[in-house]
Amino acid sequence: MVHAQFDNTARQALAVKAVDAKIRKDLSWQRIADAAGLSVAFVTAAVLGQHPLPTASAEAVAALLDLDADDTLTLQTIPTRGSIPGGIPTDPTIYRFYEMLQVYGTTLKALVHEQLGDGIISAINFKLDVKKVADPEGGERAVITLDGKYLPTKPF
């Protein structure tokens, strides 16, 4: 049976426990995703409390991180999503995403609507990828791909 949570406290506590185990075992998110058999972005989000994992994936992640049966079950529940508490984020990395949306949010909205029409980009039917690439001017660049299904607004 599928179960949903109404409070994210249990998922937050599990995320802390899982990240502690990840650090203790010196594992990468990619290694955990490989065990789960799913994408690194999805598994990372799931372990951090934003998605449920399918049973086999939850069991594999729990085994890798030495989590117990209750944790395995919790990994499978539908969470109350949202990982940033109210207000402006203070973590510098998260803040930069907030800043990008402050600067480019209306541009993204205008371009999405012009090219696709009135609707939204799904964060449920969604893929995320992060890649490090060389910067021709020296150093490195981050290429972040947000790939969400377009859902048109339907009159009713």
* Token pair in block for residue 35: 């065990």
From 122, 137, 140, 141, the catalytic residue: 122
Alpha helices in the chain, H assignment, sequence order: 9-24, 29-36, 40-47, 55-65, 69-75, 92-116
Beta bridge partners of 151: 120
137 is catalytic: no
From 24, 28, 96, 141, the catalytic residue: 96
From 24, 28, 99, 141, the catalytic residue: 99
96 is catalytic: yes
Q: Look at the block and give the residue holding tokens 């972005």.
A: 41
81 is catalytic: no
With beta carbons less than 8 A apart as the criterion, state whether 71 and 11 touch.
no
156 to 49, 121, 153: CA distances (angstroms)? 34, 20, 9
Active-site positions?
A: 96, 99, 122
